[in-house]
Structure 1
Amino acid sequence: MVRLRAAVPLLAAVFGVIVSAKVVPGAFIFEFEDDQDTAPALDTVRKNGDVRMDLDFELFRGISVQLHDLEKANNIVDELAALPSIKRWWPVTLHNIPDAHVHWAGNPDREKILQARDNSTLTNTFSPHFMTQIDKLHAKGHTGEGVHVAVIDTGIDYKHPSLGGCFGKGCLVTNGFDFVGDKFDGKNTPIPDDDPMDCQGHGSHVAGIIAATDEKFGFTGGAPGVTLGAYRVFGCAGSVSSDVIIAAINRAYLDEADIITMSIGSPNGWKQNAWAVTASRIVAKGVIVTISAGNEGSQGIFYASSGSSGEGVAAIASYDNMHMPTLVYYGNATVGADKPQEFPYVLGNPDKFDITLPLWVDTFDTSVAADLCSSLPDDTPDLSKYIVLIRRGTCSFKEKISNAAAKGAHYVMFYNSVDAHPTQLNIKKDIPGSVKGIGFVDKKTGQDWVQQLEAGSKVTVALGSRLDTKRIVKDLNNTASGGAVSAFSSWGPTWTMDVKPQFGAPGGHILSTYPRAKGSYAVISGTSMACPLTAAVYALLVEVRGTRDPMLLQKLLSANSKPQVFNDGALFYDRLAPVAQQGAGLIQAHDAAFATTLLEPSSLSFNETTYFAPSKNFTLTNYGDSKVAYEISYVPTLTATALKPNAKNVTVFPGEFYTDSAAIRFSESKVTLAKGEKVIVEVLATPPKTLDASLLPVWSGYVRINGTDGTSLSLPYQGLVGSLRNHTVLSPGTAYIAGANDKHRRPVAANAVFNIPRPGSTNYAALPVVVYAPHLGSRLLQLRVARVSKRGTHELIGQIKGSPVEYVSRARDSLTWDGRLSDGMYVREGTYRIIVRMLRLYGDEKDATAWDESETLPFVIKYA
């Protein structure tokens, strides 16, 4: 058994921890049964609330409602659910604007178009297109003509010259709808209109990736011949509610979109959520749906997203661009009395430079990776008079900056530890507020400065303000992670061991259009960028192959994708990245477009040990014009463990890996197929016996199929050693009570008193909050209320309002309690505990052993 411990990635963390989608109090989605009288349900709603949205569509007949009396909400829901016209219901949840990282954007006044890209760094083709073979299809004249792509996002700045400059028939953006209005934040009332203009930026960037035509920056969209539909579901800031998403995706289907792309989501991993169910139905009707896998790669394995967990939906991972379009700034360095020498650097955040100061270093040894990882001694000079030069390595950027700031530093310049171009450090929210500016230079520049300082020379650096400094866009080779799965890309699989993501495309450091009011162009990273490029590839395949069958095209893309080796954010390994991180691999548009061999299905899941499937089948069909001989083999990936020894929480990225994997056998390792012939091949898997099942190791690999006609296909497979059913989903002592007025959600002491408002009050500041942190996802969550007696015993009296909750992720979450039970009644004053119960994966809710519990400390309820 060979164990690999991935290094902590040196790249700056740009994506924060995301908690699960939040529930809107008193808001619910109800789906109607077909051919049932809905009048009784509508009458009940009108008596008790308002219809938020009329969801009367071909594939989803229902409504979303907002109940007025939150005290009686659960009773009303139970009453509605009992009606024969109600098929099922879900709470309305909120999903934030995607947490895509903006590396740089133009300024409407000073950087409207920015300076032209540096011609010396331009490659022969746009890097994301080269990586995915889009350039080959463009060279053959394929542009996606005749395909209509619906973009469900923040809207599109359709007046942007690279996005057509107009809206309506004959324009690039031919149709669309604004479901919410500028001021919508996810919680207030939407004000829809017919103008899907973007005021946030995300949707315009997505649209450009699909279909922009731009000469200034030398790029086009992946499918510039398509037309777009703009379906705006976000305001200028805030969130979107799940009923709006369902309305938008159904509207796009009714508007006859060929492809629907959505770069939205929250951690979930269950295909039963309302959004996933709706998306799956649309796929079953023949419409392609691509949804981003999510930007929570830092959270490790088993963190699949909401809508993208749907059956048939293509969940899209992100790969790092091989050439990063980088906004490079120039400063001047003066050594002693020499003439100033210009040098390039990457500006971070914070970026408040406009200074001329000498450099200071803590060590002249440039091999010390732990430079400034410890507190500085008392005799350190006042660093407010210097720019502190620090080597990258060992500890986080935050720690190094904090140590410098403790001695007065306002300005920090990092130098790289490897021969790679520096990246932007967007860490303003994580460092002391006294720090005003952060920059990053390459390894050679930093080492040269250190040598001059060691020789006794004074090195003075002049850095102008962001808007007044010389700057230029350069395509910098990404030697650290180019071509690898982005560290931020969320991992699957789903909680039922379905393969997610399906495959991926470049999403790290992507240049595209941006609203004119925000500078017209931007470089952004996220699975949000990989998803629309994949949608563009689908459009090219529709044009070339003449079919819109989503599952056929998914099989072709999957089989022809190229799995990539693992990268921890800074270093490459010699093994392929796990299927749970990259799915089938990096999509290859040309190979998929002209493939003559069909491999199906698009993936194999052998499940976990308890429900292990020892064999699976795949079918190989030769649609070519001649006989082909195929050789079948397999290549294992790194095995990713969900847990560390003696741990219950899933390991964060990059985690620990093993080279041990399953042994794979085939019923046939060589087959020959004439034109039109097919063969079914059995795949038999023997899981590795050398791995510790308590760590829940997920093994995976790729079936490889090579043909004498040049065909090279792969089929991702995965399984798990261990039992998800036997693993604890919630530990005793992990649930606790916090105060609603504490934004950090810190636990209160035992017997803390909450003087909560009298029933009917809208003041939530003083309420208790139940906080819980699951180890794994759960199909069912209950929050039971126990009244504590003076003798310390407790009596169960019901569940809190808002409980139970179905299909929860493993994200840390909370629920505010105003003293009401699920039947709408308020508890009396007294001492209480909340008992959080979660059903184990694959567990039967009638089986008492299938539940895990965690009790909070006692707390006191008094009514003010």
Structure 2
Amino acid sequence: MALSRLLVGLLAAAGLALAKTPRVLPGAFILEYEDEVDIDSHLSSVQHLASTRLKLDHKLFKGASIRFHDVDKAQHHAELLASTPHVKKIWPVYLYDIPEHTIHWTAEDATAMAAQDVPTARQAPPPDTFSPHVMTQVNRLRDEGIVGQGIKIAVVDSGIDYTHPALGGCFGPGCLVSSGWDFVGDAFTGQNTPVPGPDPPLDCGGHGTHVAGIIAAQEGNPYGVIGAATGVTLSAYRVFGCSGTTTDDVVIAAFNKAYEDGADIITASLGRPSGWKEEPWSVAVSRIVENGVPCTISADNSGGYGLFQSGTGGDGKRATAIASVDNIVTPQIFKTASYMVEGGLNEPFGYAPGVPNAWLNVTLPLWAVSFNTTDPSVACSPLSSQSPNLSGYVVLVRRGACDFDQKLRNLVAKGAHHVLFYNNQSTGAVNVSAPNIPGLQAVGMVTAEQGATWTALSSSQNITVALADPRMATSYVVATANNMTGGYMSTYTGWGPTYEVDLKPQFAAPGGKILSTYLTKSGNYMVMSGTSMAAPFVAAIYALLMSARGTKDPQTLESLISSTSNPVLFNDGETTYPVLAPTVQQGSGIVQAYDAAYATSLLSVSRLSFNDTDNIRPVQHFTISNNGSEPVFYTLSHAGAATAYTLPSDGSIYPAKFPAELHDDYATIEFSDEEPFILSAGQRKVISVTATPPAGLDARRLPVYSGYIAIKGSDGSGLSLPYVGVAGSLHSATILDAAQTFVARFRGPLVSISANHTFILPPPGHDNDPLYINNLTDFPRIAIGLALGSALVRIDVVPVSVPSGTHVGVSVGLRTLGDVFKTPEEYHSRGQQYGYWGGALSNGEQIPAGTYKLVIRALKIFGDRDKADDYETVETPEFSIRYMDLEPIPAGPRRRQRGWDRDHVRNH
């Protein structure tokens, strides 16, 4: 049965996925030098052209990042540098935002938390019942005293609040956060120059502190937060300032310094959708892994955009990309309060404070808006005239049917200042945020059970509630079972594969609704969701395995974790379906630390790729080794996972949004050994695997098939090896969206110009002169729509009528004056981009007045960049370029010209 029938209702509403497009820092580039180059000498030789951002003088990456003084000529200068024998490779500098994540709640009683007495000495752990640990068998290793002793984990993030009592309370030798480096300083925004220095890398954003607690939060804290590897030491490498973005040159520097400082594991929870292993950070990560240090990178939170959205860093051939599964419980912070019925004894209750939260020792009678606990529409409409003035009550109202603000406005209209919602489902309570309702002083929520109890009592008795200031009230954690998505893949987790059909992510770990440490100034503890939370968890598991097995080899550890992980069924956020989730969503499944620590059967690889139909590698090989002390019989079998269509059924060239259309049509897998075989202790065997892609699918929609090779041993072991393939041609897929690729007017709607339009530009050399940027000028505005990623995008200026003597060359079979300023560009992810063009070519020269057209070309996936037929092409209508006369004129509204640049992007 096709799963698309099960998902048809969701798919109808899903729409298409126009992914976010990366941004670059204007005028900035990363240079990688040949080994013999003296970096200081080369930087001195170009200082008249560019300032140095960072010197990247590392064992595995010798280079620098620079920013040209003249941004308008930066591309030309960069191309000249790239052509010199000193420079091995050059890339633009990309911007990275703080990773998207969901904040569910933050503890607010910072003073109380900071005063808690947390043991500083390492102690043998009590039995571990922390839910993320139970999900992954970390608890079983910790119960045996395996806590990552002696392992050093480098955290590349926003820094760590090492003053936090659960993170050791200090920085330096002998502390939990024993070392690190601040690469940027507080004022760094990504747009300015980083100011590195040895100052302790103190976190002012909170993200890195949450990550650190997942790895190594010490026991004895008020909320029972426990790191997965409490015996490790941490090194903090700060790459974000207190606001804004970071850049990949900073991240590359941090990774290389962590490697040179002796980190055993490096983890980073940042990135952006890409799909290309050739990105500079991905290249740097792969080199570090090849030299013996595993790197765990979050798989990005772009799951809503569909397939082929793997993230930078984790795209690296050797990098380990980590997906997210939802916690099996939903942890929430409750504040204690009390209520009294008709003069009886005080009874305690808990509630989740919201915003605003001015419960300043409130003691008031409770007033239930309705005694009907099943009607979701209560207070969605204005209250009746019979309702009392509510200013002297704490108002109780059911959640549901309309948004919180609507109910609150109707209650405030009757004088309410203090409101307690009760939940409409048995999942604890949520933190209501309603900061913009005049007259509302405090809001909160209690559980559905508490609300039902009060409603029943208040129908015949008076109830008085007493709520102290939340900053002073005692806090406690309530863990409600997550029966809908707990233990399944988080809907936001990014899907692979890469555009070269490498399987990403590698495996999954708890990332949805994770309780961990936070800034001491902002509450100490927080529940957050994201692949950001999953990557450090796996870094901690690497540390546990290093302690348990005595090896630090990245390939061995990745294969152990991959082969012992548990694949899970597909869940769309509401329903679980009877088919395994595609490997491009979950990798090998949820990590199982104990099984990995004690596995005696080992596989030589962690994944297989059969590529697409044009490049199919139908026969793959792996080796299984029996490292135990007894002979083992092995049986091979195949478990198919859901086949996912990349493109929707309506003919669109854009990938469909989550959830993808799934089918239970599987590949046929055959083995060189169909019968069980025996391996003696220490023996190994090479297994050949032949794959035949599933038949009967629409190859034009790029169906991605996947599954697992299951290896069952007579010793009770069970291993699996994930694989991926594409039952279609990526080279044949449409890359360039002709309808979204055009030239428009700067001073007009974003639609294609008509033929023979004339653009009037400032005089050459006066592109940014406000004297000439006025209502008389009108620049070409270039729009490019990429439905899928492209390894190379060209924008050629093709002459139609130009002055005699104008130099015209040939580029990949096309007669052209050259490339538009700041093009061509490599390794685009998909999305839509917009930029303004002032008539300059990539060599810095200005085109003469004349008639032209632009030819926009995107290299097909697996295409040869030197073959014209391997590009998809869009030609614009012919247009003319004129220049204003060079003479003073009254200036109109002043605007700064923008050249074509991925820094100017509209995300859809």
Range of TM-score over shorter length = 0.7 to 0.9
Tell me the alpha carbon deviations over residues 17-57 of structure 1, each in whole angstroms, 9 at most, x when there is no partner.
97233111111111112235768854542231122211111
**1:153 corresponds to:** 157
Tell me the alpha carbon deviations over residues 692-748 of structure 1, each in whole angstroms, 9 at most, x when there is no partner.
222212111111111111111111111112111111112112136789999xx9769
- Counterparts of 1:20 and 1:221 in 2: how far apart (Å)? 35
**1:50 corresponds to:** 51
Residue 624 of structure 1: how far off its partner (Å)? 0.5
- Counterparts of 2:399 and 2:745 in 1: how far apart (Å)? 40
The one-letter amino acid of 1:31's match is: E
Q: Any residues of structure 2 matched to 1:717-732 within 5 Å, and which?
A: 717-732=723-738
- Counterparts of 1:404 and 1:519 in 2: how far apart (Å)? 29
**2:105 corresponds to:** 104
Q: In structure 2, the residue corresponding to 1:706 is in which secondary structure?
A: strand
Please say if residues 733 and 856 of structure 1, whose CA atoms lie closer than 8 Å, have aligned partners that are also in contact. no
Q: In structure 1, the residue corresponding to 2:30 is in which secondary structure?
A: strand
Relative to structure 1, is the Cα distance of residues 832 and 584 closer, same or farther in structure 2, using a 3 angstrom cutoff?
A: same
Residue 68 of structure 1: how far off its partner (Å)? 0.8
Q: Any residues of structure 2 matched to 1:766-785 within 5 Å, and which?
A: 770-785=782-797
Q: In structure 2, the residue corresponding to 1:551 is in which secondary structure?
A: helix
- Counterparts of 2:848 and 2:702 in 1: how far apart (Å)? 44
- Counterparts of 1:738 and 1:336 in 2: how far apart (Å)? 73
Relative to structure 1, is the Cα distance of residues 199 and 683 closer, same or farther in structure 2, using a 3 angstrom cutoff?
A: same
Relative to structure 1, is the Cα distance of residues 568 and 175 closer, same or farther in structure 2, using a 3 angstrom cutoff?
A: same
**1:602 corresponds to:** 606
- Counterparts of 2:354 and 2:854 in 1: how far apart (Å)? 45
The one-letter amino acid of 1:320's match is: D
**1:194 corresponds to:** 198
Residue 61 of structure 1: how far off its partner (Å)? 1.1
Comparing 230-239 and 797-806, the one that deviates more = 797-806
Please say if residues 399 and 424 of structure 2, whose CA atoms lie closer than 8 Å, have aligned partners that are also in contact. no
What is the total number of aligned residue pairs between the two structures?
837
The one-letter amino acid of 2:86's match is: S
Aligned partner of 1:837 among 841, 849, 857: 857
Highest Rg: 1 or 2? 2
Comparing 636-645 and 176-185, the one that deviates more = 636-645
Check if 1:60 corresponds to 2:69: no
Q: In structure 2, the residue corresponding to 1:523 is in which secondary structure?
A: strand
Comparing 702-711 and 752-761, the one that deviates more = 752-761
Q: Any residues of structure 2 matched to 1:338-377 within 5 Å, and which?
A: 346=352
Q: In structure 2, the residue corresponding to 1:733 is in which secondary structure?
A: helix
**1:86 corresponds to:** 87
**2:273 corresponds to:** 267
Tell me the alpha carbon deviations over residues 118-162 of structure 1, each in whole angstroms, 9 at most, x when there is no partner.
xxxx99611111111111111111121121111111111222222
- Counterparts of 2:210 and 2:475 in 1: how far apart (Å)? 22
Check if 1:289 corresponds to 2:295: yes
- Counterparts of 1:243 and 1:663 in 2: how far apart (Å)? 44
- Counterparts of 2:420 and 2:694 in 1: how far apart (Å)? 48
Please say if residues 404 and 432 of structure 2, whose CA atoms lie closer than 8 Å, have aligned partners that are also in contact. no
**1:535 corresponds to:** 539
**2:819 corresponds to:** 799
**2:174 corresponds to:** 170
**1:634 corresponds to:** 638
Relative to structure 1, is the Cα distance of residues 470 and 835 closer, same or farther in structure 2, using a 3 angstrom cutoff?
A: farther
Please say if residues 671 and 688 of structure 2, whose CA atoms lie closer than 8 Å, have aligned partners that are also in contact. yes
Fraction of identical pairs, as percent: 40
- Counterparts of 2:21 and 2:345 in 1: how far apart (Å)? 56
Comparing 603-612 and 216-225, the one that deviates more = 216-225
**2:123 corresponds to:** none
**1:2 corresponds to:** 2
The one-letter amino acid of 1:517's match is: K
Comparing 746-755 and 259-268, the one that deviates more = 746-755
Check if 1:761 corresponds to 2:739: no
Residue 251 of structure 1: how far off its partner (Å)? 0.8
Residue 483 of structure 1: how far off its partner (Å)? 1.0
Aligned partner of 1:699 among 692, 705, 716: 705
Relative to structure 1, is the Cα distance of residues 406 and 644 closer, same or farther in structure 2, using a 3 angstrom cutoff?
A: farther
Check if 1:825 corresponds to 2:845: yes
Relative to structure 1, is the Cα distance of residues 33 and 365 closer, same or farther in structure 2, using a 3 angstrom cutoff?
A: same
Residue 111 of structure 1: how far off its partner (Å)? 6.2
- Counterparts of 1:557 and 1:711 in 2: how far apart (Å)? 14
Please say if residues 759 and 779 of structure 2, whose CA atoms lie closer than 8 Å, have aligned partners that are also in contact. no
- Counterparts of 1:171 and 1:469 in 2: how far apart (Å)? 31
Please say if residues 109 and 471 of structure 2, whose CA atoms lie closer than 8 Å, have aligned partners that are also in contact. no
Relative to structure 1, is the Cα distance of residues 461 and 716 closer, same or farther in structure 2, using a 3 angstrom cutoff?
A: farther
**1:656 corresponds to:** 661
- Counterparts of 1:360 and 1:9 in 2: how far apart (Å)? 35
- Counterparts of 1:113 and 1:462 in 2: how far apart (Å)? 26
Check if 1:224 corresponds to 2:244: no
Q: In structure 2, the residue corresponding to 1:63 is in which secondary structure?
A: strand
Please say if residues 667 and 705 of structure 2, whose CA atoms lie closer than 8 Å, have aligned partners that are also in contact. yes
Comparing 804-813 and 596-605, the one that deviates more = 804-813
Comparing 33-42 and 306-315, the one that deviates more = 33-42
Residue 635 of structure 1: how far off its partner (Å)? 1.2
Q: In structure 1, the residue corresponding to 2:178 is in which secondary structure?
A: strand
Residue 821 of structure 1: how far off its partner (Å)? 2.5
The one-letter amino acid of 2:308's match is: F
Q: In structure 2, the residue corresponding to 1:128 is in which secondary structure?
A: helix
Residue 801 of structure 1: how far off its partner (Å)? 2.0
Please say if residues 381 and 407 of structure 1, whose CA atoms lie closer than 8 Å, have aligned partners that are also in contact. no
Relative to structure 1, is the Cα distance of residues 32 and 124 closer, same or farther in structure 2, using a 3 angstrom cutoff?
A: closer
Q: In structure 2, the residue corresponding to 1:307 is in which secondary structure?
A: coil
Normalised TM-score (structure 2): 0.81
Tell me the alpha carbon deviations over residues 300-348 of structure 1, each in whole angstroms, 9 at most, x when there is no partner.
2110001110011111111111122212367999999999998766566
- Counterparts of 1:465 and 1:789 in 2: how far apart (Å)? 76
The one-letter amino acid of 2:857's match is: R
Relative to structure 1, is the Cα distance of residues 634 and 350 closer, same or farther in structure 2, using a 3 angstrom cutoff?
A: farther
- Counterparts of 2:357 and 2:654 in 1: how far apart (Å)? 37
Aligned partner of 1:391 among 392, 400, 403: 400
Check if 1:668 corresponds to 2:673: yes
Relative to structure 1, is the Cα distance of residues 220 and 408 closer, same or farther in structure 2, using a 3 angstrom cutoff?
A: closer
- Counterparts of 1:551 and 1:476 in 2: how far apart (Å)? 38
- Counterparts of 1:456 and 1:97 in 2: how far apart (Å)? 53
**2:898 corresponds to:** none
**1:312 corresponds to:** 318
**1:715 corresponds to:** 721
- Counterparts of 2:471 and 2:882 in 1: how far apart (Å)? 55
Relative to structure 1, is the Cα distance of residues 163 and 17 closer, same or farther in structure 2, using a 3 angstrom cutoff?
A: farther
**1:71 corresponds to:** 72
- Counterparts of 2:590 and 2:433 in 1: how far apart (Å)? 27
Aligned partner of 1:204 among 188, 205, 209: 209
Structure 2 unmatched ranges of 5 or more: 119-125, 803-813, 885-890, 892-908
Relative to structure 1, is the Cα distance of residues 299 and 515 closer, same or farther in structure 2, using a 3 angstrom cutoff?
A: same
Q: In structure 1, the residue corresponding to 2:622 is in which secondary structure?
A: strand
Q: Any residues of structure 2 matched to 1:216-615 within 5 Å, and which?
A: 216=221, 217-328=223-334, 346=352, 389=398, 391=400, 419-421=426-428, 472-615=476-619
Residue 387 of structure 1: how far off its partner (Å)? 8.7
Tell me the alpha carbon deviations over residues 647-668 of structure 1, each in whole angstroms, 9 at most, x when there is no partner.
2211111232111221222222
Q: In structure 2, the residue corresponding to 1:783 is in which secondary structure?
A: strand
Q: In structure 2, the residue corresponding to 1:391 is in which secondary structure?
A: coil
Please say if residues 115 and 473 of structure 1, whose CA atoms lie closer than 8 Å, have aligned partners that are also in contact. no
Q: Any residues of structure 2 matched to 1:8-19 within 5 Å, and which?
A: 19=20
The one-letter amino acid of 1:135's match is: N
Please say if residues 703 and 714 of structure 1, whose CA atoms lie closer than 8 Å, have aligned partners that are also in contact. yes
The one-letter amino acid of 2:820's match is: I
The one-letter amino acid of 1:557's match is: I
Comparing 176-185 and 476-485, the one that deviates more = 476-485
Please say if residues 19 and 813 of structure 1, whose CA atoms lie closer than 8 Å, have aligned partners that are also in contact. no
The one-letter amino acid of 2:736's match is: L
